[in-house]
């Protein structure tokens, strides 16, 4: 605390991101980054953008990127919003669309940034428990609310709802905004983007950080009815006119256009995940069914925090959450086959001790 702080800052409980250690040779399986680099076409587009034109502001509306996203998702550019990572898109969404009298609903176990935004913008919220099997049951969300936000697939469980379940929920929930955070959707789940033309209260949020391997470029997006997008534009234009710089716009356009590279790398990650799940189950782990580039696993005989510490001594870092209900789980990012092999070997040694 410092006496110059505003009362808002005094009350904040900020999000704690996974660490980015500077230790060389580390196997980093803690923040769900893509183990493969971005498309070579992205790197070329970035290099081309490093030019005299950097003295000029970028396009405040990122029209080129909005058009590229619209083309890929079969929507109109007015149905697309882009921002500095999906975290920024989420922040604007909370303020623009989810702040109401009635509480915002989200699962008790989900992306831990959601309650942080509620704290920042003073939004009332209610946590809805996952089932005993760590599933989301959308019938539990059929109660008066000021909005609903669901990560699909959910994080950190990795488990996904079917689009038909989301559709059935939306048919009975026209009163408030329903946000689906699809940060991991490309690793095996179904996108609900196809529903936006039928439901003017549905907003889909995606990111280029995971499946497009661009966590370092900071690009996220939202797709929905033009009326919802206009609300996001109003907040954005009251906050920062230029959230995406010239490099981010060019790199993101190239990433959206290189479908072959996208398909190749996401398939590799899915194949490695299936192998990793099989190996961990072979070591006695219980692994939740994952549709993500990470898995969520617990060992019936070993404390999760101790396992994480032992892995760290072997230069492998994974994510452990101290939160109730999940404090015996480890969240492990799917790396390359080689990295996952080193992980299972290390776990086999640790469990053998
Ligand atoms: C990673 C992640 C995000 C944020 O991604 P950005 O890098 O800010 O685009 C949003 N939601 C969930 C559930 C995530 O896991």
User: How confident is residue 173, by pLDDT bands cut at 50, 70 and 90?
Assistant: confident
Residue range 18-37+260-352, CATH number: 3.90.1150.10
Q: Which residues contact 193 (CB under 8 A, 6 or more apart)?
A: 73, 74, 75, 204, 223
How much is the average pLDDT of 13-26? 87
How much is the average pLDDT of 225-233? 98
- Say whether pLDDT at 75 is over 80: yes
Tell me the best of 116, 209, 295, 319 to mutate to test the pocket of ligand 1, counting ligand atoms within 8 Å of each CB and taking the most. Answer: 209
Instruction: Give domain limits for the chain.
Output: 18-37+260-352, 40-257
> Does residue 209 have its Cβ closer than 6 Å to ligand 1?
yes
Name the pTM for this structure.
0.97
- Say whether pLDDT at 24 is over 90: no
Per-residue model confidence as pLDDT tens digits over 192-217: 999 999 999 999 999 999 999 999 99
- Own/partner contacts of 16-23, CB < 8 Å, gap of 24 or more, are 18/319, 19/317, 21/317, 23/315
Per-residue model confidence as pLDDT tens digits over 280-330: 999 999 999 999 999 999 999 999 999 999 999 999 999 999 999 999 999
Residue nearest to atom 2 of ligand 1 (CA): 183
Per-residue model confidence as pLDDT tens digits over 156-171: 999 999 999 999 999 9
d(CA 142, CA 308): 38
- Say whether pLDDT at 353 is over 90: no
φ, ψ dihedrals at 281, nearest 5° = -65, -35
> Does residue 151 have its Cβ closer than 6 Å to ligand 1?
yes
What's the confidence (pLDDT) of residue 349?
Answer: 97
> Does residue 201 have its Cβ closer than 6 Å to ligand 1?
no
What's the confidence (pLDDT) of residue 25?
Answer: 86
For residue 305, which of 350, 337, 338, 344 has the smallest C-alpha distance? 350
What's the confidence (pLDDT) of residue 189?
Answer: 98
- Own/partner contacts of 321-330, CB < 8 Å, gap of 24 or more, are 321/112, 321/156, 323/109, 323/112, 325/108, 325/109, 325/130, 326/109, 326/156, 326/296, 328/298, 328/303, 328/304, 329/156, 329/296, 329/297, 329/298, 329/304, 330/296, 330/297, 330/298, 330/304
What's the confidence (pLDDT) of residue 331?
Answer: 98
What value does the mean pLDDT of the chain take? 97
How much is the average pLDDT of 328-334? 98
User: How confident is residue 17, by pLDDT bands cut at 50, 70 and 90?
Assistant: confident
How much is the average pLDDT of 47-64? 97
What's the confidence (pLDDT) of residue 1?
Answer: 82
Ligand 1 atom nearest 111 alpha carbon: 13
What's the confidence (pLDDT) of residue 19?
Answer: 83
Location of structure tokens 């950080």: 209
CA of 86 to the centre of ligand 1 (A): 6
> Does residue 186 have its Cβ closer than 6 Å to ligand 1?
no
Class of domain 40-257: alpha beta
- Say whether pLDDT at 266 is over 90: yes
Ligand 1 atom nearest 215 alpha carbon: 7
Ligand 1 atom nearest 86 alpha carbon: 9
Q: pLDDT over 90 for what percent of the chain?
A: 96
Are 18-37+260-352 and 40-257 the same fold in CATH?
no
CA of 215 to the centre of ligand 1 (A): 9
Distances in Å between the Cα of 177 and the Cα atoms of 67, 75, 197 are: 24, 19, 14
């Amino acid at each position: 605390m410092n006496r110059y702080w505003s009362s808002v800052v005094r009350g904040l409980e900020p999000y704690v991101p996974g660490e980015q250690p500077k230790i060389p040779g580390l196997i980093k399986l803690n923040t769900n980054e893509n183990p493969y680099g971005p498309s070579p076409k992205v790197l070329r587009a970035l290099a081309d953008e490093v030019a005299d034109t950097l003295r000029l502001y970028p396009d405040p509306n990122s029209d080129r990127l909005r058009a590229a996203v619209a083309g890929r998702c079969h929507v109109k550019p007015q149905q697309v919003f882009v921002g500095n990572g999906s975290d920024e898109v989420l922040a604007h969404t909370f303020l623009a669309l989810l702040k109401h009298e009635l509480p915002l609903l989200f699962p008790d176990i989900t992306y831990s940034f959601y309650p942080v935004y509620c704290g920042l913008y003073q939004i009332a919220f209610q946590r809805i428990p996952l089932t005993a099997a760590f599933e989301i049951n959308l019938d539990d969300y059929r109660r008066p609310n000021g909005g609903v936000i669901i990560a699909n697939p959910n994080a950190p469980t990795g488990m996904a709802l079917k689009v038909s379940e989301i559709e059935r929920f939306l048919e009975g929930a026209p009163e408030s905004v329903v946000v689906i955070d699809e940060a991991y959707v490309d690793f095996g789940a179904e996108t609900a983007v196809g529903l936006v033309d039928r439901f003017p209260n549905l907003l889909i949020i995606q990111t280029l950080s995971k499946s497009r391997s661009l966590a370092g470029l900071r690009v996220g997006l939202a797709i929905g009815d033009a009326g919802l997008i206009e609300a996001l534009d109003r907040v954005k234009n009251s906050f920062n006119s230029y959230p995406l710089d010239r490099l981010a716009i060019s790199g993101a356009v190239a990433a959206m256009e290189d479908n072959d590279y996208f398909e190749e790398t996401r398939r590799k990650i899915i194949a490695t995940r299936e192998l990793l799940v099989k190996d961990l189950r072979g070591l006695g782990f219980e692994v939740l069914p994952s549709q993500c580039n990470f898995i969520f696993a617990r060992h019936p005989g070993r404390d999760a925090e101790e396992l994480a510490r032992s892995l760290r001594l072997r230069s492998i870092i994974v994510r452990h959450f101290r939160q109730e209900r999940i404090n015996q789980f480890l969240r492990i990012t799917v790396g390359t086959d080689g990295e996952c092999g080193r992980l299972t070997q290390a776990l086999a040694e640790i469990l053998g001790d």
